[in-house]
Structure 1
Amino acid sequence: MTSFTALLANGITAALAGPTGAIEWLPIPRFDGPSVFGRLLDRHGGGYLSLEPEEPVPATQRYLDEGLALETRFDGPQGTARVRTWLAFGRTAVWMHAETSMPLVLTCRPMFNYGAVRPAWEREADGVRFANPHGPEQARLLIQGPHRPTARPEQWICGPGNVTVVFRVSSENPADTRWLAQPVGTDPERVWRRTASFWQHADIPYQGPFEAAFHRSVQVVRALTYRPTGVPIAAATTSLPENPGETRQWDYRFVWVRDAAYAGEALLLAGDVVGARRIAEFLLNAVSLEDRPFAAPLLRVDGSVPDGERDMGWLAGHQDSRPARMGNGAVRQLQQDLAGSVLWLVYRLWEETGDAGFIRFYWWAIAALADWSRRSWNWPDASLWEFRGIRDQHTHSRVLCWTGLTTAAHLAEAVMGDTRQARRWATAAERIRQTLMAEAAAHGGFPQRARGGVPDAALFTLPLYGFVPADDPAFHATFRTLEETLVQDDLVFRYRSDDLGNARFPFTLAGFWYARVLLRQGALERADQVLARHVASATPLGLFGEHVDPESGQARGNFPQLFAHTGLIAALAERRRLLEGQRLPGMAANPFQSRPEPAPTSFPA
């Protein structure tokens, strides 16, 4: 059984809850901060918050229809209990509200700075106050309803009856300190209703197969988005391993330029122009005019550059996977697909909205991205896979340089009226195309790198950007190779091995790329089989990890993964558009233009 089941979020930070509803992960004051509850990375020293029966009893969980509030129901010999848990919007506060006919044990054991610092504490009439003796952080647990202390300072017996528990965390801000002292109030329902309104009003209309999976994925993108800047992080966690007991575990709590651009395109395809535009504006405002356009492939949620990678040797690691890490060494890498990813999003926004003013306002950044791609398209890089020991001319990276130059050339002519600049970028794009097509001819299909190599799943994206049609002979040969080497039981490996060893599990996003190509080839039933297989690989609450273990069905890697959820949104949104008669990049014509939509009831929920 996995130790995490549910994501809770408030647009500032995110928490992960376990099978009994215990909060096992909560960074403060935002997504990329140090944890105050970190049992996810150390069962004994990480800290947690729980409200559950003293003796183990069967528990069932679901998200409430109104949004990302977790309901955990316990049924035992002493009675039943229903516990709702959510993060309130505004300052960081975990809310738990229990309706119980049996006593529950409340345990609150915060540990500051990723479990490195035990808090000082002081009991109060309605709870306990905590403080970091080596830093500014403070916290307060408030309990409303029948409760009594136990001999252990961090535990209480709550109920039977209605019990509300609130855990608040403050920074050095004096206003936050005053907020800590405020009572819970008398109406937790009012707090939840106001929180739920965010999730309800941000919903995107969708009807079709896998409707529940679509809406859950939209919620996850919202949950991973830092509301003040409108941009999503790659995942809510750090150091969840691809394979327990090994060393492939990284910190993903940052804004990856590429991942954010993917999220923007997915939201745009689904009809959320505002969300897509906020992401595009963040990325364009992060462009530098001094050196490479992005100072690093990943940024903090405020746009600053993170520090390097650091091992947290005092933590046991998730399922004994050492080391747990803060920060990510990819911050120092050159990844040549970034500029093209952003320009593709900008171009698709312009196609969707016709907003020429937006293009003119950000032309300085658009031109800088295009000029960078023109100068550096053939430079060796670490690729989108962020290889730690491989630098080469990767086909996917160079295709994205072509994508950026082609879209920028079109915008230069159509919006800016600058035919000279358009011709300059289009000429550079054609040079890239000729180079890559010659390499494909020499290798019998597109290779992973200029000098060859077994194709990787990133090559599925070539028709998604319109570089080649999905029925192009060179791509078709590549597609066959990808199916033969990477597709297994309708799941897709990103590659079979890299500089760190063998890739153990399928990569969830790659399966959605595969489905999107199948749609462009007119293979609707086959695409639906692949989509159904991936929807079935989600957790019971509809969340995707970076990878999936086909045997156990468990999510692997950081969780939940932005990549995977945006992949599902994009695939289903494109499926709907194709059946409505629209044509997508990578298609000479729409093979579904006159085909009726199959009944949604023919698909699994």
Structure 2
Amino acid sequence: MEQQPAISDYAFLSDSRSGALVGKDGSVDWWCPHRFDGASVFGRLLDPGAGHFTLTPVGVGGPGYRMERAYLPDSLVLRTVHHTPQGSVAVTDALAAEVGARAHELGKNSPAVLIRVVQGLSGRVRMALDFVPRPEYGLLTPYLHEQPDGSVLAGAGPVVLVLRADDLDLRADVDRVSHEFEISAGQVIGMDVAFGEAYGSPPARMEPLTALAETTQAWQAFRDTHIYKGRYPQLVRHSATVLTGLTYSRSGAVAAALTSSLPEQVGGDRNYDYRYSWLRDFSLTMRALWVAACPDETTRLFAWATRSIGRFGDEPVPVLFGLEGERDISEHHCDHLRGYRDSRPVRVGNDAWRQRQLDVPGEVMSAVWRLRDYLGARFEGELQEMVLGLAEQVAATWRLPDRGIWETRDEERHYVSSKVSCWLALDRAVGLADRLGDRADPRRWAAVRDEIRDTVLREGWNERIGAFTGAFGSPELDASVLAMPVARFLPATDPRMRSTIEMVERDLGTESGLLRRWTTDPAGFLLCSFWLVECLVMAGEPKRAEALFERVIGFSNDVGLFSEQIDLTTGAQLGNTPQALSHIGLINAAWRLTEPDSF
């Protein structure tokens, strides 16, 4: 069996409704056109037979061939240049924006159209097109129908796809469209794949060159509204663009990643669906968007969270929601899919929504605190109910064990990072009490807050190891404790915190500079590595922090994308991609290097 491409081979396309991955070989191997967490129509990422759309020179990878690619400035429009012995050709790929969309209109009415434009640069190059749609994660093989206008319609189940190409005589085979054509210097051929619903609106019809120009302008106009004045501006702007690409524009929710079931370890079973929005990541996301000067995104994300949480009952606040606020996203396995490089199971849905994770209220309250000056001198209605409900829930439940921020699927524990987040929730509630009306109880909240702090300092500290460990009474280190100084629970210069940072760096760090989450973690976790950068800055070691930052950013792929983790032996990217938390970590670490006392 042919080896699947490396995760780092993929570039990310987005219309802020859905996303696609296109490999260095010119193959679109992942596209869920309905929305980020919808079913794929191209799913070769997770199984060779689950569909793809390849557009590439004949003989790609052979003698004399080389490739270079980059995003057009401040966009997720990808331009790939193929150099062959016969000549050079550029392929520009994008998911189309609505015609006329600019700045914050991006994605609100996306037409669900994949654009591919081929431009001859020199010589005469023979190109190969292979269109193999397989809707419903590869379960469906569509009927293909040649249309009078030269397009090909693919229909199966609820899905309709239409493939069009300028000046090409496309012919449908039984289950695919395979076509070869030549392109000369100066020649341009546009093509597109438009998605529609069998019993809904028909697929949009767009002129590829016009749509490509409109989409590029929409992205660039969006970035022009955001001004970042810190260090590493190009990296921060690009990571902010990636976060925009992961934002489901209709609601403002940020998907944790584009993909499902890319493994934490090749051949392993820790393969999860990350195409949802985690409240666990809420404060970090808000902070990153704030740093990158994206105020509209922060307020929309906050409004989505308030609506999604709804009224409080006895159940804990869910850790994640669907992109439009769906609560039940129960998990199932796609047993017909082989998985990325035979890493099974392939999961759709994520049962972490059922877990108790006590850190969630703290993340939300921290976000409220950050936006407090924009939310008014007195909170009313749903906002008031949410803040009061979160405070009371923390006060009532902080002594319980939970699953922790890494969402372990074994027994619950008293995780230090979760207790710190409980402290954070009540600390922020006390600070917001004068905006919450007569039901606010800052004196009681402050007493519980202080009790939590005393408990963490007593039970979380392991004198024998000389560090705060992952859970009360545990000898195991956990990189999540690096969030303690970031949350202002304890200064990084405190002797206990300083010792913890040193121990975490010593026992969980690697020669590459990457940090694992725990000692048995098989890979480096990028967010933790960026947390360590922040901790070193706050501990008064900016030069070491900068050197570490420079090493960690070197693990991005050739178009500046990060997955979740990095293989410690090969340096290969692992886990779902592009991973929002990794890009969030980069933005926040860059700002910490710019303003050490920020946040």
| C-alpha distance in structure 2 between counterparts of 1:370 and 1:539, whole Å | 42
Shift of 1:368: 0.5
Aligned partner (choices 50, 55, 60) of residue 54 of structure 2: 50
In structure 1, the partner of 2:481 is 459
Superposed CA deviations along residues 403-423 of structure 1, whole A, max 9, x for unmatched, are 00000111003x346596111
Question: Relative to structure 1, is the Cα distance of residues 122 and 438 closer, same or farther in structure 2, using a 3 angstrom cutoff?
Answer: same
> Residue type matched to 2:251 in 1?
T
Contact 1:308 1:329 in 2 (8 A): yes
Matched, 1:196 2:219: yes
Superposed CA deviations along residues 217-276 of structure 1, whole A, max 9, x for unmatched, are 111110100001111011000011111111111110011111233211211233322222
> Residue type matched to 1:87 in 2?
L
| C-alpha distance in structure 1 between counterparts of 2:141 and 2:221, whole Å | 35
In structure 2, the partner of 1:600 is none
Aligned partner (choices 14, 18, 21) of residue 19 of structure 2: 14
In structure 1, the partner of 2:192 is 166
**Pairing of 1:514-533 with structure 2 (within 5 A):** 514-533=532-551
In structure 2, the partner of 1:561 is 579
Aligned partner (choices 126, 134, 140) of residue 111 of structure 1: 134
In structure 2, the partner of 1:572 is 590
Question: Relative to structure 1, is the Cα distance of residues 387 and 440 closer, same or farther in structure 2, using a 3 angstrom cutoff?
Answer: closer
| C-alpha distance in structure 1 between counterparts of 2:206 and 2:150, whole Å | 9
Question: Relative to structure 1, is the Cα distance of residues 88 and 292 closer, same or farther in structure 2, using a 3 angstrom cutoff?
Answer: farther
Shift of 1:292: 4.8
Q: Alignment partner of 1:506: what SS?
A: strand
Aligned partner (choices 399, 409, 412) of residue 388 of structure 1: 409
| C-alpha distance in structure 2 between counterparts of 1:19 and 1:308, whole Å | 34
Contact 1:412 1:419 in 2 (8 A): no
In structure 1, the partner of 2:180 is 157
Matched, 1:513 2:539: no
Superposed CA deviations along residues 413-444 of structure 1, whole A, max 9, x for unmatched, are 3x346596111111110110111112245634
Question: Relative to structure 1, is the Cα distance of residues 440 and 321 closer, same or farther in structure 2, using a 3 angstrom cutoff?
Answer: closer
Shift of 1:20: 2.2
In structure 2, the partner of 1:598 is none
Matched, 1:428 2:478: no
In structure 1, the partner of 2:431 is 410
Q: Alignment partner of 1:108: what SS?
A: strand
Task: Return 5+ residue gaps in structure 2 as ranges.
Answer: 98-109
In structure 2, the partner of 1:372 is 393
Aligned partner (choices 486, 490, 493) of residue 508 of structure 2: 486
Shift of 1:488: 1.3
Shift of 1:530: 1.1
| C-alpha distance in structure 1 between counterparts of 2:371 and 2:475, whole Å | 35
| C-alpha distance in structure 2 between counterparts of 1:432 and 1:216, whole Å | 39
Contact 2:514 2:526 in 1 (8 A): yes
> Residue type matched to 1:222 in 2?
T
TM-score, length-scaled by structure 1 = 0.89
> Residue type matched to 1:20 in 2?
D
| C-alpha distance in structure 1 between counterparts of 2:315 and 2:595, whole Å | 33
| C-alpha distance in structure 2 between counterparts of 1:362 and 1:432, whole Å | 25
TM-score, length-scaled by structure 2 = 0.90
Q: Alignment partner of 1:187: what SS?
A: helix
In structure 1, the partner of 2:309 is 287
Percentage of pairs with the same residue? 28
| C-alpha distance in structure 1 between counterparts of 2:277 and 2:348, whole Å | 14
| C-alpha distance in structure 1 between counterparts of 2:317 and 2:172, whole Å | 52
In structure 2, the partner of 1:130 is 154
| C-alpha distance in structure 1 between counterparts of 2:440 and 2:560, whole Å | 50
Question: Relative to structure 1, is the Cα distance of residues 231 and 372 closer, same or farther in structure 2, using a 3 angstrom cutoff?
Answer: same
Contact 1:41 1:317 in 2 (8 A): yes
| C-alpha distance in structure 1 between counterparts of 2:307 and 2:173, whole Å | 54
| C-alpha distance in structure 1 between counterparts of 2:478 and 2:209, whole Å | 57
Matched, 1:224 2:246: yes
Contact 2:256 2:278 in 1 (8 A): yes
Shift of 1:27: 1.1
> Residue type matched to 1:405 in 2?
L
| C-alpha distance in structure 2 between counterparts of 1:512 and 1:262, whole Å | 12
Question: Relative to structure 1, is the Cα distance of residues 266 and 187 closer, same or farther in structure 2, using a 3 angstrom cutoff?
Answer: closer
Q: Alignment partner of 2:570: what SS?
A: coil
Shift of 1:303: 0.2
Task: Return 5+ residue gaps in structure 1 as ranges.
Answer: 498-502, 586-605
Contact 2:388 2:440 in 1 (8 A): no
> Residue type matched to 1:24 in 2?
D
Contact 2:332 2:347 in 1 (8 A): yes
> Residue type matched to 1:567 in 2?
G
> Residue type matched to 1:522 in 2?
G
Shift of 1:285: 2.0
| C-alpha distance in structure 1 between counterparts of 2:220 and 2:334, whole Å | 38
Aligned partner (choices 427, 430, 438) of residue 458 of structure 2: 438
Shift of 1:59: 1.9
Q: Alignment partner of 2:136: what SS?
A: helix
Question: Relative to structure 1, is the Cα distance of residues 231 and 358 closer, same or farther in structure 2, using a 3 angstrom cutoff?
Answer: farther
Matched, 1:40 2:64: no
Q: Alignment partner of 1:474: what SS?
A: helix
In structure 2, the partner of 1:24 is 29
Shift of 1:199: 4.1
Aligned partner (choices 268, 277, 285) of residue 263 of structure 1: 285
| C-alpha distance in structure 2 between counterparts of 1:285 and 1:244, whole Å | 38
| C-alpha distance in structure 2 between counterparts of 1:96 and 1:61, whole Å | 14
Question: Relative to structure 1, is the Cα distance of residues 211 and 112 closer, same or farther in structure 2, using a 3 angstrom cutoff?
Answer: same
Q: Alignment partner of 1:157: what SS?
A: strand
Matched, 1:121 2:144: yes
Q: Alignment partner of 2:194: what SS?
A: strand
> Residue type matched to 1:17 in 2?
V
Question: Relative to structure 1, is the Cα distance of residues 418 and 466 closer, same or farther in structure 2, using a 3 angstrom cutoff?
Answer: farther
> Residue type matched to 2:306 in 1?
L
In structure 2, the partner of 1:592 is none
Aligned partner (choices 89, 93, 97) of residue 81 of structure 1: 89
RMSD: 2.2
281-290 or 383-392, which moves further after superposition?
281-290
Contact 1:20 1:72 in 2 (8 A): no
> Residue type matched to 1:496 in 2?
T
Matched, 1:273 2:291: no
| C-alpha distance in structure 2 between counterparts of 1:311 and 1:561, whole Å | 22
In structure 2, the partner of 1:552 is 570
> Residue type matched to 2:545 in 1?
A
In structure 1, the partner of 2:116 is 96
Contact 2:46 2:340 in 1 (8 A): yes
| C-alpha distance in structure 1 between counterparts of 2:346 and 2:210, whole Å | 40
Contact 2:152 2:172 in 1 (8 A): no
| C-alpha distance in structure 2 between counterparts of 1:193 and 1:541, whole Å | 17
Contact 1:439 1:447 in 2 (8 A): no
Question: Relative to structure 1, is the Cα distance of residues 292 and 539 closer, same or farther in structure 2, using a 3 angstrom cutoff?
Answer: farther
Shift of 1:523: 0.8
48-57 or 232-241, which moves further after superposition?
48-57
Matched, 1:62 2:70: yes
Q: Alignment partner of 2:534: what SS?
A: helix
Name the count of aligned residue pairs: 567
**Pairing of 1:247-396 with structure 2 (within 5 A):** 247-292=269-314, 296-350=318-372, 353=374, 355-356=376-377, 362-396=383-417
Question: Relative to structure 1, is the Cα distance of residues 453 and 143 closer, same or farther in structure 2, using a 3 angstrom cutoff?
Answer: same
Contact 1:284 1:366 in 2 (8 A): no
| C-alpha distance in structure 2 between counterparts of 1:96 and 1:203, whole Å | 28
Question: Relative to structure 1, is the Cα distance of residues 420 and 127 closer, same or farther in structure 2, using a 3 angstrom cutoff?
Answer: closer
